[in-house]
Chain A
Amino acid sequence: MPSAGSNVALISSAPDDEVSLVEILDHVLNSGVVIRGSLIISLAGVDLIYLGMDVILTSVETAMSHIGVAAPRNE
């Protein structure tokens, strides 16, 4: 029978440390309503539907590199 311990880590949604930051980025970039189609406009000749997705991918990579965590990769 394994012994019991208090190994519950409570992480605030305030960006106080790097662990919180990872959680925040995960939520801001991966949770919420996703708008598709014509509601997203084009500006300066650039299709924002494509640009928006590209920015999301870039920001995850960039954020991960800022905090020294390797971005997850699908293999």
Chain B
Amino acid sequence: MAMLAYCVTEAGPLEILAKGFAGRQITVIEHCGLQCPVATLASVEVGAGLAAREEVLAFHAALQGILRQRALIPFRFPTVFGAGGEVCDHLKENERKYHDALARVRNAVQMEVQISFLSSDADSKLHREGDEKRSGTAYLQSRLISQKSLEEQAVAIHDAVAPLVKDWRERISAQSVRAFALVDTEVLSEFEQALAALKVPEKFAIKASGPWPATEFLESKAPKA
């Protein structure tokens, strides 16, 4: 017997979907003040059925149903334990870590904001055209300017939503800035309205998504890039 684990939450009354991945009933294992919703699988399902898109979406739907009630730490799909005892062992081994992380993100969800240049943007054209003719230094300088521009836009967005955000973290690459906002569920709609009302220069494409489990905030400090 194998168990597909969905997530870890703090113990308490929890309404879960009757069925999740592969149409399997979801049951909750509780140990050390933590709960772990799981689905029991037959071995053949572990090998044959995990890749279907519909099954991933069923897994996601179950997580979202729980996230609407309380903060959770998801397991990366597909995480399979051997039996109920292994789940309890895992919860026991990670009890302190899970309790600390869940307390940090309690009553909050993660919203993501990705900032990039529109593909038709003149600046990005400038950085592509003639790259092969320019010196390496000039190329790197243009990349630096692009990245700085993205970072400044990220700061502007953060400033606009800062009163609604408990924490803010960023991952910066040459092409985009991916920002993560920890938002209290009580002000989630306000946060979304604030984002929708943002006026940003047309050269940028801003993509916001969520709510997601607050996986970027499970550690007390952002990991070093």
Residues of A within 8 A of B (CB): 2-15, 20-21, 23-25, 27-35, 39-41, 43-44, 46, 48, 51-52, 55-56, 58-59, 62-63, 66-67
Q: Say whether chain A's binding surface is mostly helix, strand, loop, or mixed.
A: mixed
Residues of chain B contacted by A10 (CB below 8 angstroms): 192, 195-196, 208-209
Given contacts A21-B57, A23-B209, A39-B82, 19 further A-B contacts (CB under 8 A): A7-B205, A8-B200, A11-B208, A13-B64, A15-B60, A20-B209, A24-B56, A24-B60, A28-B59, A31-B74, A32-B215, A33-B73, A33-B74, A33-B76, A34-B76, A48-B2, A48-B46, A55-B50, A55-B78
Query: Do A46 and B47 form a contact, CB below 8 Å, given A5-B200, A8-B195, A55-B78?
Result: yes
> In the complex, which residue of chain B has the Cβ closest to the Cβ of A24?
B60
* B75 contacts A33, C-beta separation under 8 Å: yes
**Inter-chain contact count A-B, CB under 8 Å?**
154
Interface size class of B (residues with CB under 8 A): 35 or more
Give Cα A5–Cα B50 distance, bound, in whole angstroms: 42
Once bound together, how far apart are the Cα atoms of A38 and B151, in whole Å?
A: 42
C-alpha gap A34/B44 in the complex (Å): 22
